[in-house]
A and B are shown apart, each in its own frame.
Chain A
Amino acid sequence: MLYLDNLTKVYRRGVRANDGISLAVAAGETLGLLGHNGAGKTTLLNQVVGLARPTGGTITLLGRDPVAEPAWARAVCSFQPQAHAPLTGVTVRQAIESIGRIRGGHRRAVRRRTTELLAALDIERWADQPGERLSGGVRRLTAFCMAVVEPGQLIMLDEPTNDVDPARRRLLWAQVRELAAAGHGVVLVTHNIAEAERVIDTVMILNHGRVTATGPPAALAPDRQLRLEVIGTAAPTVPAWALRTSRADGRLTITLAAENAQLAVAWAASMTSRFSLNPVGLEEFYLTLTANPETNPDATLVS
């Protein structure tokens, strides 16, 4: 559905916001874009929807060129920008219905879909409140509804869960899954890595405008590493199989390779029963990749 080939964006002051990015999003697939602040995620989305013009490379959306046809691109692509939606003076319901109509929906269908979305995200009690009286989280959820009330074939969400409470974040992720299941391509920018891991089919990690890693979350979570947490023991000698060790708040954390799991359990059990062993998630992987972005920006791990 969406193909980027060697997409490069250099701003006038010489900042390389995107540097040779290639990616593909199929219908029904959810791509998660992760990366530090200023990594170039929003710039990437802006180019697809025609707010910014690429310096180099090509974008192909549904077989056409959105750079040459920005009006068409905006029609087939629903975008939730990171900035707040215009809600001042408008109620939640009015905002969602108006944008649904502007996006081409029919009155009755839009009204029905709005009611469904309000219920699905559990924000019905604010439906008739004007935007200026809403909390940041409800505003963000409203903006999400405005983007997906009349969804285009491609849906791009820029940090849709910022300020949203944990319960409603789950409801939002469920909606994203439903949209993908209905055949929409979804591009998701988020910092909520641990949660997004469950809805994302493919992850792409950007670092200073370049792709640092890409692949399914399960494949990326680094070559089967585990994390051992041991609580409240005196400082033991660090075993030889430990890859990384850290100690904080009376808690010893050791990262180890998966094949040493049995050794680790035996070692921990010999000291205490208060320990846990978990697979390292995407978030840890992300942190190790971007912890020292300056030292090795060329590290590419493409699975």
Chain B
Amino acid sequence: MRHWFRSYLLLLRWSAIRLRYLLSLVLVVQIFLSVGIVLGFAFLLPQIDSATARYLATGAPTLGLITIGMVMAPQLVATAKTEGTFTYHQTLPVPRTAVVVSEVTTWLVVGAPGLRLGLLVAVLRFDLTLRVSWLAVPAAVLVALAATTVGLAIAYAAAPPVTNMVTQLIVFIALMFSPINFPADRLPEWLQTVHQVLPFQHMAQVVRDSLTAGPEGVPAGPYAVLVAWCVLGFAATLHIMIRRA
């Protein structure tokens, strides 16, 4: 256990040094995305009532977390695979779980500042009053965790060009065809059914509920689905990490 923890901390430090130059860039992209959704989507809609504002304000940070976990993290893994650094890390005498957990941790930390800033912009733009419950932090962590573990699983499993294409597809689906910035009942029925299984709708809901609804009456269903995606993503990631040619 001591070896695991020591490895984990050293790998975290190693990631921090290597990705330092990227972090500021990620932050800028994330802020642009959040601000873009809050300000840009408002142009699309002639009138913004309080319900719409609630969706946009909480949808923006959710999409920020999805972008980091399911687009940026996998694309960086794809690059690492192309450059051979992925294999290099597999040769280090550290537990493979420590490698995966440290990678996930890095991306959780990366997502935090942009999340807060995006939310701040939304509150200012829509003159919104949030009812932040104690669930806000666990919900954000769970969303980031689900996005990152699934994103890494894709990048670990697929060839780098495939990963890059799939991540483009994910951002497209999340942005345009997922009930993140709008209520699910606007979608055709079959797509609503699909989104019962996919994580996007549930991610949006736990963030929205935790920031606006208060702790009472928060349904457990979305949390359960996201936990299931986390477990699936982590298991797949680890399986591929341990697998030998």
Chain A residues in the interface with B (C-beta under 8 A): 11, 46, 49-53, 70-71, 74-75, 79, 81-86, 88-90, 94, 98-99, 101-104, 152
Contacts and interface: CB of A to CB of B under 8 A. Distances in A.
Given A51-B244, A71-B95, A102-B94, A86 B11 contact: no
6 contacts: A84-B83, A84-B84, A89-B18, A98-B14, A101-B10, A104-B93
Given A51-B91, A83-B83, A89-B17, 7 more contacts: A71-B95, A71-B96, A84-B83, A85-B88, A98-B10, A102-B10, A102-B93
B205 interface: no
Contacts of A53: 244-245
A188 to B, nearest CB: 16
B87 to A, nearest CB: 6
Interface in B17-76: 17-22
B244 A52 contact: yes
Contacts of B100: none
B90 interface: yes
Contacts of B96: 71
A281 B14 CA distance: 44
A103 B89 CA distance: 11
A83 B84 contact: yes
B88 A86 contact: yes
A94 B21 CA distance: 15
A86 B244 contact: no
A85 B86 CA distance: 9
A162 to B, nearest CB: 13
B125 interface: no
A104 B14 CA distance: 14
A52 B93 contact: no
B124 interface: no
A257 B17 CA distance: 59
B201 interface: no
B13 interface: yes
Main secondary structure of the interface of B (DSSP, over half): helix
- Give 6 nearest A-B pairs by CB, closest first: A83-B84, A86-B85, A75-B93, A52-B245, A53-B244, A74-B93
B17 A84 contact: no
Contacts of A88: 18, 83
Contact of A11 (B21, B91, B94, B245): B245
B80 interface: yes
B84 to A, nearest CB: 3
A51 B84 CA distance: 13
B181 interface: no
Interface residues of B, number: 27
A74 B17 CA distance: 23
A127 B62 CA distance: 42
B1 interface: no
Contacts of B14: 98-99, 102
A85 B85 contact: yes
Nearest to B20: A89
Nearest to B19: A89
Given A52-B245, A70-B244, A101-B10, A84 B92 contact: no
Contact of A81 (B17, B21, B80, B91): B91
Nearest to A131: B18
Interface in B185-237: none
A74 B91 CA distance: 6
A74 B93 CA distance: 5
B196 to A, nearest CB: 37
Most buried by A among B21, B93, B244: B93
A53 B96 CA distance: 17
Most buried by A among B13, B21, B91, B245: B91
A89 B88 contact: no
B85 A98 contact: no
B89 A86 contact: yes
B60 to A, nearest CB: 29
Given A46-B245, A89-B22, A103 B88 contact: no
B18 A90 contact: yes
Contacts of B10: 98, 101-102
B99 to A, nearest CB: 10
A128 to B, nearest CB: 13
Contact of A74 (B18, B20, B80, B92): B92
A46 B245 CA distance: 9
A271 B88 CA distance: 58
Contacts of A81: 84, 87-88, 91
B19 to A, nearest CB: 7
A225 B171 CA distance: 67
Given A83-B85, A84-B85, A94-B17, A99 B244 contact: no
Nearest to A67: B244
Contacts of B83: 83-84, 86, 88
